[in-house]
Structure 1
């Protein structure tokens, strides 16, 4: 026989701002907002990194010890929206053949992931994490590995004889359904268990990244440009010009309306993704810019430079707000996306 509290319990859906359903939480008469937050946080309990989670109901953020019943959360049709704040974690890939998860505040290594590589593979060239942090992709010169952060186990190994010792970079789409692969200057798209399909006209690529909706791909190249490609057709739709050196990375902003590049000419540039025009230059670098990326809200950018620093810039003003020593980052990728943040340091 059901108790009174069980009879008044309700399954409340929790979604992201994008509309993606995270899951449902069971709330009962007498439960508080704290209980609702603890229940919703379990959706990320097995993720590589656990974000700070805030809940919104009918346009208002929920806080304190209010009971869910007094707010109407037990009413039919009630639903919650989850706002996620990025935790301060860094996932690094190393020449020692491992990937490590570090806490930015303490500097301590929390987890180590070791792919089962051939003896001659050695170094891990790149690492890419899904939006929910539950899966990531490691790439060596000859193979790619997907890992589950729930179990820490390798889920799949990708390998093709024609790509042996030529992989430069690989990235997962946010939903893990697609993989972008840069191999010997050529960009390939991999869907599911299918073979790699070459994007049209690529022969000098250094880096590639998906748009937020995975419908477009931006490619950084040795030709001093970045190019925008359509995923379905593979055709180049736009070329972003203005650099005077190899463009090492190119990424979309969180909303997809602009593209950030990092170049050997020492300049980071922001381009309009539609018109192709340069919106702003970020020039306060002391050497080749190896990588650049957006903050989760799109208001800041971070750049890794060959002078062994990582610099944080305000996107609107172009002002350098912070500079940190970052020797490991100078030769690899900077992650400052949904799961990653920049270590603090003295002002520029």
Structure 2
């Protein structure tokens, strides 16, 4: 074991356990009826070329409906709970419909079956546990910590896991066996593992950023220091670059091989600089999005040129994200407003604001990008029309700020979680609260949609982790083993 200051001083698919798919009997009944004029047959094949099923399709069918029809006839659905549906070389996403894709009589879809998904949980009991998601089977335990485990990050192949504890120490594990490879004592302000599993990024309390060798824990290099507090340090998706941002008003891109700064992002000098509160890569990693303390956001090309500035807020931003297609930027601010900007010009397309003007914690897109869901410090989440800015529904009753609000994949349900340690499930159309999970199960520490966006993954103060199915109104899967509060969950 070695102290961090000593080191630095030396140098989302588809539903995993769906009870909601159409049954084969129902689908057969539907087929027996006369099909609409727009209906046609589509063949679904496996990667091997073997025909899996032939389904009846309508032009208006969404990805969810296509998957339901396939799953109802797939005899090996339970053995392969995670898969991807392709048309040609394109992976289908939530926004696609059969008509939009150009499907017609005789079209062929390909179903790529993927290995079972896993769930990693981090707990106050000093362990992180890895489970098989659709069975709840325990695969490995990452133990040996002297304090609570608060987070875990993984390499892309999930063979290595990096844990961080409440004592701000980090440890590297072989995630398959649970064997600890090395450990570094704190204080560590932040740490993450590169996707390729080769390097670990660490930041200490003085904003010194270092890179460690993931196999040995040895310090490889210290990066150039920022003058003031570093608020962001993340790897690029390919692991070859590192992005940092600081309250001094700069973001920098570093080459991880040499440790040299390759690009500096910031507004032109001349006048007082505005500090940055966060920075992130765009979905395709070709751009950098930076949030500033004056309530604006800047989008840069990866070469350093500023593409646009998104302005209009009167208070600092609490969140700033890009749409998956990279065309829009969505902000949420302490001024109580959320704004939608064009990523090409920075022009504000729409403003989403409630009458209360309560500060926002976050804002997110619906799966089809047609709506925006905000989480407010007044304990209320709100759903807006992304085109008009009209408030469609409010979801109140939390006793503390709503930290997160997300829609189900079909847009019918809203899941909220709050700092009051409560999670609630709402009807998206009526705003009615369908379920408050702490009432029967105790405080909720984590809540998110399971793959497929129809079932819920919930973790509790007691250490319980379970999958809840809204359709059957029951818990359908348990992940046993933790003896104390679960601080975080991660799908891998």
Q: TM-score when scaled to structure 2? A: 0.44
Q: Is the 8 A contact 1:163 1:183 kept in 2?
A: no
Indicate how the Cα distance of structure 1 residues 233 and 32 shifts in structure 2: closer, same or farther if over 3 A, else same: closer
Separation (CA, whole Å) in 1 of partners of 2:112 and 2:408: 15
Compute the RMSD of aligned alpha carbons: 4.5
Aligned length: 261
Q: Deviations over 1:230-249 (max 9, x none)?
A: 11111222211214311111
Q: Is the 8 A contact 2:383 2:392 kept in 1?
A: yes
**SS at structure 2 position matched to 1:342:** strand
Q: Per-residue deviation at 1:345?
A: 7.8
Q: Per-residue deviation at 1:255?
A: 0.6
Q: TM-score when scaled to structure 1? A: 0.59
What are structure 1's unaligned runs of at least 5 residues? Answer: 1-15, 17-23, 35-52, 66-76, 93-99, 123-139, 149-153
Which position in structure 1 is the counterpart of 2:437?
323
Q: Per-residue deviation at 1:54?
A: 11
Q: Per-residue deviation at 1:169?
A: 4.5
Which position in structure 1 is the counterpart of 2:310?
199
Separation (CA, whole Å) in 2 of partners of 1:201 and 1:285: 29
Q: Is the 8 A contact 1:314 1:321 kept in 2?
A: no
Separation (CA, whole Å) in 2 of partners of 1:89 and 1:300: 23
Which position in structure 2 is the counterpart of 1:233?
345
Which position in structure 2 is the counterpart of 1:159?
244
Q: Per-residue deviation at 1:166?
A: 5.9
Q: Per-residue deviation at 1:290?
A: 1.9
Q: Is the 8 A contact 2:437 2:444 kept in 1?
A: no
**SS at structure 2 position matched to 1:64:** coil
Q: Per-residue deviation at 1:297?
A: 3.5
Spell out the pairing of 1:1-348 with structure 2 (5 A cutoff): 27=48, 33=52, 63-64=74-75, 79-82=108-111, 89=119, 103=131, 111-112=161-162, 113-114=192-193, 115-120=200-205, 141-147=231-237, 154-160=239-245, 162-163=249-250, 168-170=277-279, 172-184=281-293, 185-194=295-304, 198-202=309-313, 204-242=316-354, 243-318=356-431, 319-324=433-438, 325-327=443-445, 329=446, 336=449, 341-343=456-458, 344=466
What are structure 2's unaligned runs of at least 5 residues? Answer: 1-13, 15-44, 54-62, 77-105, 123-127, 142-151, 153-157, 163-191, 194-199, 208-229, 252-273, 459-465, 474-492
Indicate how the Cα distance of structure 1 residues 120 and 308 shifts in structure 2: closer, same or farther if over 3 A, else same: same
Separation (CA, whole Å) in 2 of partners of 1:170 and 1:91: 27
Mark the structure with the bigger radius of gyration. Answer: 2
**SS at structure 1 position matched to 2:311:** coil
Indicate how the Cα distance of structure 1 residues 295 and 177 shifts in structure 2: closer, same or farther if over 3 A, else same: farther
- Point out the more displaced range, 109-118 or 218-227: 109-118
Q: Deviations over 1:42-99 (max 9, x none)?
A: xxxxxxxxxxx99979x8555238xxxxxxxxxxx8632449999574799xxxxxxx
Q: Per-residue deviation at 1:205?
A: 1.4
Separation (CA, whole Å) in 1 of partners of 2:423 and 2:400: 11
Q: Per-residue deviation at 1:119?
A: 1.6
Q: Per-residue deviation at 1:26?
A: 5.3
Which position in structure 1 is the counterpart of 2:19?
none
Indicate how the Cα distance of structure 1 residues 174 and 295 shifts in structure 2: closer, same or farther if over 3 A, else same: farther
Indicate how the Cα distance of structure 1 residues 239 and 116 shifts in structure 2: closer, same or farther if over 3 A, else same: same
Indicate how the Cα distance of structure 1 residues 101 and 322 shifts in structure 2: closer, same or farther if over 3 A, else same: farther
Q: Is the 8 A contact 2:364 2:373 kept in 1?
A: yes
Separation (CA, whole Å) in 2 of partners of 1:145 and 1:121: 20
Separation (CA, whole Å) in 2 of partners of 1:84 and 1:298: 26
Q: Per-residue deviation at 1:214?
A: 2.3
**SS at structure 1 position matched to 2:249:** helix
Q: Per-residue deviation at 1:180?
A: 3.2
Q: Deviations over 1:136-170 (max 9, x none)?
A: xxxx714232355xxxxx43211356347965455
Indicate how the Cα distance of structure 1 residues 276 and 339 shifts in structure 2: closer, same or farther if over 3 A, else same: same
Q: Is the 8 A contact 1:121 1:142 kept in 2?
A: no
